[in-house]
Structure 1
């Protein structure tokens, strides 16, 4: 993640203790590094000027300027990195696990609440306007559940046909966008009622690595069978590309949509990070590397101020594509 000219990242490896690291976004100079221990894949968020990292059963808050530990708490555990979520307006950090959702105050680490209303949560819950929207199991059936951000109490639940395999729910003022059994459905935020079925994916392989993003009236979806832009009101397809997304993750900018693409027609022997025009779907540029088994993008690309930040085991490092502007002093 990138904030005020600094990139915050983690480096957890089974051969060494995990670390949290801060780098200058313009030139990659290391600003600080804090050893945390552990070897499992961590999750991380940035809130209240704290870089917060969850790994195994630990939740650690680090000062964003120095890397010093501010507080440490014990949790139920983190099964997937994306199940750590921050809500900036209330300064709350959420951790979802197989058994519960826990909410912590970012400033102090105090646990605000815990609920086991919904279990086996995956993918990440979404937060919007004082509520938490989570997809998981209730009585062994898949449900979309709305909880209060204040105390974790349940507002409503709606049963789904099937739990999404990778696409997290996305919430906007228009509703909650959920992938339910290869159909993109919009639900009412206040009641959980289905508003409309927006788009159906005919190919089963869309279930693999599917990512959904919504911005300014357009829904962007990437998956194994390609990428598509959909009108969020009518469900009309604005453009479609038969470009296989290499991993989950899609970032939307003012002019482009960026995501990892495997062996596209414009670079048939490469794995790439590719940028497409958000209005037309035309390819703008790509960064390619050899498609070896161990060559892959290992984190979702992040688009900030016209530059794309990513990690890859091809370069075994953090990379930046494009010009990173200097910060005002």
Structure 2
């Protein structure tokens, strides 16, 4: 895709030519070094870098990745993991992913699978020698270049999985390729990568993973409890793959054994002649193990790699990012898929083919997709979403939060907050905010404040933190109201009347919204890891499996309710009941006055195992119905009795939000799409992709849908 106004033209010493995609960890660009070498440059998301745990882990993983020097791993060339922003550059691999190669050209013969397996085993040997575990080896993380395959994204999934932005208990990886010990939340080491390698080889030989497809919880169940289906594999190959897929990690072969078994060129005991792995500089078309059509596609992609920036609409000039500090390189990313035969060359060069996975998100499965007009110059207007307005974000500016009428943009470094009208995008106000002059730590003055972070909008006040203070400003005008010393632990207050309830890990405190004065506080006695809800005279908060209710009149604990699994969602309160989802996929309704469980509903069926699911999503309550999602399924339950009214499986693997507008349930998903369901029947009315794929974020206020993608806000009115 061409660069847009929100994209840099240079990162470090690399000139950027096009955008390859974006995912949970950041945007990825095609760049060129001063000497003319093509590189893939990844710029890490600011949201991840604000998590210091992620930052530290990312630096360590980048340093480790620098030590990976195998023939069949993409070369790492440069990085600045401690920069602002952090970025990394790797060898650009012009080839299809194995997933796309199988989808486009079909399954591979045994000789090709063996040659591929030997190359991947050698790549894993290099990764393990650097004290790394890949943890997300899958067909989309194997690129097929003219000079051989490359394993990509080693180390990055581990860094993403260590961040506080990832929910506790969520499994990193892709269903069908995650080893059973990782699904059981046991430790996972190099043997887990061997399991994934076996699943990848089965996919190449049969066109489907050895544990089938479908809902993630069903696939995960089969991985843990059932034998793989290897009926479509030749016997000798099936034997090797079966060893890799052993349930017990100790029973799986070592990578060295796989190298010998798959890479030998002498006749084996069964009389078969193994195909040798090609040398790194050998053309795979003469090596004989990569299918001819796949090799042709890889060669065509290499020839089509742009050498100059792709044309883009003239809507602004991107800004260069700072030059790097000398540091270590990191991990590669997938490359574009070739256009099908007959597609115009101009479209191939402009769109850079839209079916490649950017598998670097904390969830382990992130897709991106381009929605373009026939001329390839940008998104077409979805017919069910009436476009209202668009707004280009300044470099470093992001959408921080929203109320029913206003969007609030923040620029951390400039200390600026901008308020936009939701309906027409007009500017309501724009202010440079106050920041804490100094920070005190045990009586000593420390560094001056240098950024701001919006935390919440509630009760007519907008809250942001700077250094050791929490600030409140008038949400309608931006005028300063007060500040409160919070020692840099910036809460997201919930306002009820003239009181703001600010939740921390082990306690909450109450502020007077008129003055910022602290009135009182309460300690839970345990660490509470969920968001709070306030209803009537009760404050509710989760501590793992336990839901705690605090009586705000007596300032004492009122009751507790213990679920069968840890809480996975926020709290939705309506008509005297609080609704929430748990890790095992269950939906609970609890009476807010007594703590009694009113009802509980779980997914049913012999393949359902809550430990292996993706975790429940935030329930939405409207009109006497609770709408709930889990693993891409959307269900509607009677709010009073819990009886199920309907259930629908969505096209994407994961649903990211549910919003009720009139008689329509708007469902956003992990593919960057939006689906409109009838609230009474669950029938699909329409589905559109209004943004730039999985990197699109949504804000829905009433019937207005606002997307943030590629440095731009776009507002639509949804058909309901």
TM-score bracket, shorter-length normalisation: 0.7 to 0.9
Aligned with 1:177: secondary structure? strand
1:239 paired to 2:646: yes
Match of 1:86 among 494, 501, 512: 494
- Distance, in Å, in 2 between the alignment partners of 1:237 and 1:39 is 48
- Corresponding residue to 1:30 among 413, 417, 427: 427
1:62 is aligned to 2:460: no
2:522 aligned residue: 115
The whole-number CA distance in structure 1 between the counterparts of 2:563 and 2:487 is 26
Partner of 1:303: 701
Q: CA RMSD in A?
A: 3.1
Where does residue 125 of structure 2 map in the other structure? none
Distance in 2, matches of 1:35 and 1:245, equals 41
- 1:176 is aligned to 578
- Match of 1:222, SS state, is strand
Decide whether aligned partners of structure 1 residues 169 and 26 sit closer, same or farther in structure 2, where only a CA change above 3 A counts: closer
> How far 1:311 moved relative to its partner?
4.1
Q: How do 1:122-271 and structure 2 match up within 5 A?
A: 122-136=529-543, 142-150=545-553, 152-165=555-568, 167-180=569-582, 181-200=584-603, 202=608, 204=610, 207-208=614-615, 210-243=617-650, 244=652, 248-263=656-671, 271=672
The verdict on how the C-alpha distance between 1:159 and 1:236 changes in structure 2, with shifts beyond 3 A counting, is: closer
Unpaired stretches in structure 2, ≥5 consecutive residues: 1-401, 436-449
Deviation at 1:321, TM superposition (A): 1.1
The structure number with the bigger radius of gyration is 2
Q: Using a 3 Å threshold, how does the CA distance of structure 1 residues 245 and 24 change in structure 2: closer, same or farther?
A: farther
Give, in angstroms, the shift of residue 208 of structure 1: 3.6
1:321 aligns with 2:704: no
SS at match of 2:423: coil
Task: Report which structure shows greater RCO (CA 8 Å, sep ≥6).
Answer: 2
* Partner residue, 1:11: 410
In 1, the alpha carbon distance for the partners of 2:581 and 2:648 equals: 19
Q: Which has the higher helix share?
A: 2
The whole-number CA distance in structure 1 between the counterparts of 2:475 and 2:617 is 32
Distance 1:188 1:17, change over 3 A: same
CA 65–125 in structure 1, closer or farther in 2 if over 3 Å, else same: closer
* Map of 1:20 onto structure 2: 417
TM-score with structure 2 setting the length: 0.38
Q: CA separation in 1, counterparts of 2:655 and 2:693? A: 15
Superposition deviation, residue 118 in structure 1? 5.1
Q: Conserved in 2, the CA contact under 8 Å of 1:100 and 1:116?
A: yes
Distance (whole Å) between structure 1 residues aligned to residue 416 and residue 616 of structure 2 = 27
Structure 1 residues 42, 279: closer, same or farther in 2, change over 3 A?
same
Higher strand share: 1
CA contact (8 A) 2:664 2:678 kept: yes
Decide whether the 8 Å contact of 1:43 with 1:55 is kept in 2: no
Residue correspondences, number: 297
Is the partner of 1:123 in helix, strand or coil?
coil
Structure 1 residues 81-100: Cα deviation after superposition (integer angstroms, max 9, x where no partner): xx724233x23222222232
Matches of 2:414 and 2:500 in 1, distance apart? 24
